[in-house]
Chain A
Amino acid sequence: MLRSLDRLLIVVVVVGWLLGWGNHAARASVDQPNSSQEPLAIIVNTSNPVDDLSQPELRRIFLGERSHWPNARRITLVMMEPGQPERKALVTEVCQMNESDFGRHFLQGVFTGEVFVSPKTLASPVGVRKFVFNVPGAIGYLRASDVDSSVKVVRVGGHLPGDKEYSLRIQPSRASK
């Protein structure tokens, strides 16, 4: 019996260590952005008057805690399907959560009424871009290379995706499609 408990403890410790190492490694890679990592652009409809968002504002928007833009347009969140590198980068970098926490947050928020907006899920970057193009209050995200003139890129913390100081980037190892 004791032997069995010892074995279980060892497994738990090893798994915990492995998980902790993974998180640590991920945090380390975010804390020290690499210039080779592709930027993640935050896009809105061209009619949206907002040009710049701070990281906390962005987090509140993507967590559904803000319902309207300054022009009174309803905010519509556009997300890519789970597993996409862009989504992972947003959930991690902006919402500072993992995927399961993010999903749980919305389930709980809709149930309690704390979350005003539930995200729309699109399968491809083209779908995201077209959605944002069609909906004046939409906000979404794309690789910087997928952005075109049909949507507007907002500054995050005063920086655009091309800037060196721009903080939202996609992990290279996980960005491969």
Chain B
Amino acid sequence: MSAPEQPAANSASRSRSGALSAVARYNYALLLLLVFSVEVGVSIFVIRDMRAASVEAQQMYARSVLGLRQIGELQYQAQETRRSTLYALTTNDSNLQVEYADQSREADRRVTDGITAYLQQARRPNEIEVGQRLQHHWFDYLKVRDEVLASILEGSIKEAVDLDLSGGVPSFERVRQDLDEIKRLYDEQASAQLARVGASSRRSVSRLIGVVCFTLLFATFSVWAIQRGRMLAAVQLAKLQMDFVASVSHELRTPLAVIRSAAENIADGVVGGKDQLAKYGSVIRNQSLQITDLVNQILRYASTRDRKQQYTLKPLDVTAIINSALENTAELARGAGFSIETHVEPDLPSVMGDSAALSQCLQNLVGNAVKYGGPARWVGIRAFLKEGQGSREIAISVQDRGIGIEKSELLHIFEPFYRSPAVSAAQIHGTGLGLPLAKSIAEAMGGRLAVQSKLGSGSVFTLFLPVLIKPERPVGQEVPRGATVAQK
């Protein structure tokens, strides 16, 4: 791989690993949510299909099975009507004959009621047609039956038999055929509904299998993605830690080398005279301070990561915060030959925050601006009031006209220990903790840290802090009532 291809490949690898690490970060919630959604979807489908199948089965039972049972009852009662009439032929006892006539009439009433009920529930034209035909034929038969009964009771047995043979048998045969046709209709309906229930059941099973397969595939992929994301995140973390150790070692090596060299010169008696000793002492002190600052920054970041840092929030004057930060970075800026231009809007409202922490946050931003400010050697600091929809914020921006940041890097610059490959290649030293620490402090104060950057043109880091709703006198003018909150 050639030199220019290397950063591009690194960038692609980083973006892929970033996406996977994002998956890994929200792994459980994401997986559970998606699996739950899929399961809910499956359940809804299955419940809907089961309900449809149940309704179909109930309809089939209500219309077909019960219908067939009703028709069976009608057939039996129709036979009973005829049977009782014919029983009356078998005796000369008028009392028995009347009893048989009574039984026949009871049975015919049940048949008539059954036909009426069938007609009331009939919906299809062919059902209505056959029902009406049955009713017509049944009444025809009853007329003959009444005549036959009357003849039997009168004692005219031959006449009764003749009447039954000529009228009763054919009309009852028509009734029987009608009942058979109704039964056939019910059978057809039952078959059709059975086919529908079968199709619905098959559809449910297919859906169930399909969605279960999809769920399994999805879950497998999710687990793979999570595991891979974790692995990449672990690899990335290890790499970052190694980079951090190397970077810190590098940062420590230079001042330590200077201190050792100065000490050797003093010990070897090379340094002579009070002025030279004072100069060496100053060098040793400055290098020691640099080491101390570095160690303090690392410890501070470590304490924010452990969530042990406590901040004392007080109403603060914005100008005082900026001045404090400028005082602490003046030597750095001066040493690097940077000019700092400050513009603070007059009459800015106070903010609630921890003075030392906010000063440290701004120092980190100014230090970054000096470090990456490039040949322009200019840093601009602005403080202004930003009013949005229902919110008022104090914005403190730190701008430089340096090398800027690539768009793809913007996603990572607030990650701890992260250092841009371009910066590392340019031999610009750092720990990768300055911006994460500044962001952590901003969020602990209820604010936020934003960045705008254009490669080759410079960057603007803006610290937004919420305005104190009830104005209080800032620190220095009155002893404020402090509030202590745990850092988020």
Q: Hey, which bits of chain A sit against chain B, CB under 8 A? A: 74, 76, 78, 120-124, 127, 130-131, 134-138
Indicate whether B126 reaches chain A with its CB closer than 8 angstroms.
no
Tell me how far the C-beta of A142 lies from the nearest C-beta in chain B, rounded to whole angstroms.
14
Q: List 30 A-B contacts (CB under 8 A).
A: A74-B154, A76-B153, A76-B154, A76-B155, A120-B94, A120-B153, A120-B155, A121-B94, A122-B94, A122-B95, A122-B98, A123-B95, A127-B94, A127-B95, A127-B98, A130-B102, A131-B94, A131-B98, A134-B101, A134-B146, A134-B149, A134-B150, A134-B153, A135-B150, A135-B153, A135-B154, A136-B150, A137-B150, A138-B153, A138-B154
Taking Cβ atoms with an 8 Å cutoff, the residues of B that contact A are 94-95, 98, 101-102, 146, 149-150, 153-156
What separation, in Å, do the CA atoms of A138 and B290 have in the docked complex?
A: 136
- With both chains docked as a complex, state the minimum distance between the C-beta of B138 and any C-beta of chain A, in angstroms: 19
Assess whether A130 is in contact with B94, with CB atoms less than 8 Å apart.
Answer: no
Contacts across chains A and B counted by CB atoms under 8 Å: 39
Interface of chain B: mostly helix, strand, loop or mixed: helix
Q: Give chain A residues whose Cβ lies under 8 Å from the Cβ of B146.
A: 134
Kindly report which residue of chain A lies nearest to residue B105, judged by CB atoms.
A134
Chain B residues lying within 8 Å of A78, measured Cβ to Cβ, are 94
Residues on A with beta carbons closer than 8 Å to the beta carbon of B153: 76, 120, 131, 134-135, 138
Whole-angstrom distance from the CB of B160 to the nearest CB of chain A?
Answer: 12
Give A138 to B153 CA distance when docked, in angstroms: 9
A130 partner residues in chain B, CB cutoff 8 A:
98, 101-102
| 3 cross-chain pairs, A with B, having the tightest CB-CB distances, nearest first | A120-B94, A130-B98, A135-B153
Select from chain A the residue with minimum beta-carbon distance to B147.
Answer: A136
Q: B360: shortest Cβ distance to chain A, in Å?
A: 111
Report chain B residues within 8 Å CB of A74.
Answer: 154, 156
Q: Are A137 and B154 in contact (CB under 8 A)?
A: yes
> Nearest chain A CB to B166's CB is how many angstroms away?
19
Complex: A122 Cα to B98 Cα, angstroms: 9
Chain A residues, Cβ within 8 Å of B155: 76, 120
Q: A123 to chain B: which residues have CB within 8 Å?
A: 95
Bound form: Cα–Cα A76–B101 in Å:
16
Please name 7 further chain A to chain B contacts, defined as beta carbons within 8 Å, in addition to the given A135-B154, A136-B150, A138-B153, sorted by A numbering: A76-B153, A76-B154, A120-B153, A122-B94, A123-B95, A127-B94, A134-B146
Quote the shortest CB–CB distance from A132 to chain B (angstroms).
10
Chain A residue nearest to B156 (CB atoms) is A74
Q: Which residues of A contact B101 (CB under 8 A)?
A: 130, 134
Residues from chain B with a CB closer than 8 A to the CB of A124 are 95
The CA-CA distance from A135 to B94 in the complex, in Å, is 12
List of A residues within 8 angstroms of B102 by Cβ = 130
Q: How far is the CB of A130 from chain B (nearest CB, A)?
A: 5
CA of A35 to CA of B11, assembled, Å: 126
Question: Which of chain B's residues has its CB closest to A119's CB?
Answer: B94
Are B98 and A134 in contact, with the CB atoms below 8 A?
Answer: yes
> Measured between alpha carbons, how far is A130 from B98 in the docked complex, in Å?
7
Expressed in whole angstroms, the Cα–Cα distance for A131 and B150 within the complex equals 9
Q: Measured between C-beta atoms, what is the minimum distance from A106 to chain B in Å?
A: 14
Tell me which residues across on chain B come within 8 A of A127, comparing CB atoms: 94-95, 98
- What chain A residues lie within 8 Å of B154 (beta carbons)? 74, 76, 135, 137-138
Closest Cβ–Cβ distance, residue A43 to chain B (whole Å): 14
Which residues of chain B have C-beta atoms less than 8 A from A131's C-beta? 94, 98, 153
Report the bound CA distance from A138 to B150 in whole Å. 9
Residues of B with C-beta under 8 A to A138: 153-154
B residues less than 8 Å from A137 (CB atoms): 150, 154
Q: How far is the CB of A133 from chain B (nearest CB, A)?
A: 9
B156: which A residues are within 8 A, CB to CB? 74
Expressed in whole angstroms, the Cα–Cα distance for A100 and B275 within the complex equals 175
Chain A contacts for B98, CB-based, 8 A: 122, 127, 130-131, 134
Chain B residues positioned under 8 Å from A134 (CB to CB): 98, 101, 146, 149-150, 153
Contacts of A76 in B (CB 8 A): 153-155
**Closest beta carbon of chain B to A81's beta carbon, Å:** 9
**Chain A nearest CB: distance from B99 CB in Å?**
8
Whole-angstrom distance from the CB of B154 to the nearest CB of chain A? 5
Min CB distance B270 to A, Å, is 147
A120 to chain B: closest CB distance in Å? 4
Residue of A nearest to B94 (CB): A120
A7 CA / B457 CA spacing, docked (Å): 168
CB distance from B316 to the nearest CB of A (A): 107
Q: CA–CA, A137 to B149, complex, Å?
A: 12
